Structure 1
Amino acid sequence: MSPRLVDDLPRPSGAPGLRVWLKSSGYARRLLLGEDGDPWESAPRYLSFFIQAHGLLRPDVAVVDVGDLYRSWVARHPALTAEMGAKKRPAFPLKRMLEEAGPRKLLAEVVEAVSASLRGATPLVLAAPAPRRWLMQAAEAAGRGAPELDADAIEGAAMYMADLARSVSHLAIGGLLLEEGVDGAADGDGAAYRPLVNVARHYRWGLALRGRPGRMAEDFDTVISTALPESGDLALGLDVSGPLWAAAPLAPLDAGQFYFAEIPVGAEPEAVLQNLARLRA
């Protein structure tokens, strides 16, 4: 069983928790597999990659990047790309991509293997682009221009993503991370994200957002941002990806906060280890 992300989060009320959350898949892939290496060719290959990367970086959160899995799958299956562009509806490329059986099976195999390797020591979190962002990425992969998206399209995307999450709900997952991007803002009051919020609550998974939450912060267990909102008792992740790699001073953490850092793909290993030591000092 994976530890629940919510149980590892620090709280402003004083409960201690994780200190460093890393996004490292691009850097680890280049370092361990080379510029053109792909860990997603099979579950055993991914597990070998994951174990090496996890041992090297020792993050407080184990992340499986679902968006990266689908980028790999689409690149290796051009017939699927053609099918994704077959209908004009804005949400169709993402719908067609996420209903494909092959990547769902691979995701389940990867989650099962990774959770077994962790032995309950670290929460396992599935990371994916937030609904609007994944709609844009899927349209681009299908050879389309940027789609015009309304609340219905975004809610539809969240429903497709929730269905994907349910397909692995029997496995040891501790949380979900939705990534709007460093400065991306969540949509409206959060109604469009309700299918994902409901899934996370039903399976007692922690729910995290990387981006600006707007009026929907209360729907998440933690928000990760460069500018932290007022939070009540919400755990907050300070995104220091910019100042960390620029060798700039880091803001100290207050109670209920942790550092989040994305490691640049081209970073030098010595610099990475030095900067991780700064975060953990």
Structure 2
Amino acid sequence: MSQHLADDLPGGTGGGRLRVWLKASAYTRRLLLGTGGDPWLSAPQYLAYFSQAQGLLRPDVAVVEVGELFDSWLSRHPEVAAELGSKRRLSFPLRKLLEQEEPRQILAEVVEAVIANLRGQTPLVLAMPSPKHWLHHANMLAGRIEVELEPDGIEDAAMYMADLLRSVSAYPVGGVLLEEQPADSSMGVTDVERYRPLINVAKHYRWSLALRPHGGSALASPALAEFDAVISPTIRVPKPASSGVDVGAALWHGGSLPVLDQGQFYFVEIPAEQQPEFVLESLVRLRA
């Protein structure tokens, strides 16, 4: 494997070595730290957890869940949580959250420690909520239950996230994954052109970009071609981009798995409460 995600993606310019991309944070936290366990208190504590999780699953992609870090930090700082809704602007709760210096420092320390631990053998991907989803989530944290995600607010969210990425630009990050919640019906269709500030920053640092839109829909947009991979149960993108085939539903319910075509890889999210024996058997099945 390589420290650059693009080098491992199948098809196009990639070497094709990536076969299985795991989303496993909820599962490994429960298994290694217990229910409610939190690895985000410090970089050394996170690295200890991360090393165990890597040894347990041996994933092809090393993933750091940036959204989890900020949620964890906010849960320990209710005084900041109380300020998220202090201004009416749609993008203010996310701006207030992402400008906090302490979680940004923890993120930088975690990225530095994880990259040193990986020794250039596995790409490090920063998994982040998409600008649209993080905007929605931050407003929910501010107590705003009914919000309309208007386009300018989404673009503002992408701008604040781009600034966050700049704070770790000194490190050889392998890629960035933008995720929406697959079952979130309130998200609407994704217009990735509104993510332009974030796309531009990732491209400037030559970091690969991957997108996991909610459900199976993404708005056709020229900006979609700037993503190196799109992960979905149904969306398949043309080369040179790679398609991450989300087979979680079939895998955990005993269904048949699709045969990977050229330029495709499996993507699986491991449920938090899944049994370890079944997880290991399923991974063998995927990697066979």
Same topology, TM > 0.5: yes
Q: Which runs of 5+ in 1 are unaligned?
A: none
The 5 A counterparts of 1:101-120 are 101-120=101-120
**Alignment of 1:191 onto 2:193:** yes
What residue identity is the alignment partner of 2:155? E
Q: Give, in whole Å, the separation in 2 of the partners of 1:153 and 1:279.
A: 40
Give the structure 1 partner of residue 152 of structure 2: 152
Output the TM-score relative to the length of structure 1.
Answer: 0.96
Confirm or deny: 8 A CA contact 1:213 1:223 kept in the other structure.
Answer: no
Q: Give, in whole Å, the separation in 1 of the partners of 2:81 and 2:239.
A: 44
Q: Which moved more, 1:40-49 or 1:190-199?
A: 190-199
Give the structure 1 partner of residue 42 of structure 2: 42
Give the structure 2 partner of residue 210 of structure 1: 212
Give 1:146 deviation, angstroms.
3.0
- Give the count of matched residue pairs: 279
What residue identity is the alignment partner of 2:206? R
Q: Which moved more, 1:112-121 or 1:222-231?
A: 222-231
**Alignment of 1:239 onto 2:242:** no
Distance 1:59 1:185, change over 3 A: farther
Q: Give, in whole Å, the separation in 1 of the partners of 2:20 and 2:199.
A: 24
What percentage of residue pairs aligned between the two structures are identical?
Answer: 56
Q: Once the two structures are superposed, what CA deviation does each residue of 1:195-254 show, in whole Å capped at 9, x if it has no partner? A: 111011100000000124321320200000000324132111000111111111111101
Runs of at least 4 residues off by over 3 Å: 12-15, 183-186
Give 1:17 deviation, angstroms.
2.5
What residue identity is the alignment partner of 1:215? A
Confirm or deny: 8 A CA contact 2:7 2:13 kept in the other structure.
Answer: no
Confirm or deny: 8 A CA contact 1:123 1:173 kept in the other structure.
Answer: yes
Q: Give, in whole Å, the separation in 1 of the partners of 2:139 and 2:13.
A: 43
Q: Give, in whole Å, the separation in 2 of the partners of 1:186 and 1:89.
A: 22
Q: Which runs of 5+ in 2 are unaligned?
A: none
Give 1:182 deviation, angstroms.
2.5
Q: Once the two structures are superposed, what CA deviation does each residue of 1:77-132 show, in whole Å capped at 9, x if it has no partner? A: 10110111111111110000000001000000000000000000000000011011
Confirm or deny: 8 A CA contact 1:11 1:17 kept in the other structure.
Answer: no
Q: Once the two structures are superposed, what CA deviation does each residue of 1:38-59 show, in whole Å capped at 9, x if it has no partner? A: 0001110000000000110011
Distance 1:19 1:274, change over 3 A: same
Give the structure 1 partner of residue 279 of structure 2: 272
Give the structure 2 partner of residue 84 of structure 1: 84
Q: Once the two structures are superposed, what CA deviation does each residue of 1:175-200 show, in whole Å capped at 9, x if it has no partner? A: 00000233666533x32110111011
Q: CA RMSD in A?
A: 1.5
Give the structure 1 partner of residue 161 of structure 2: 161
What residue identity is the alignment partner of 1:214? L
Give 1:144 deviation, angstroms.
1.8
Distance 1:250 1:51, change over 3 A: same
Q: Give, in whole Å, the separation in 1 of the partners of 2:78 and 2:90.
A: 20
Confirm or deny: 8 A CA contact 1:185 1:213 kept in the other structure.
Answer: no
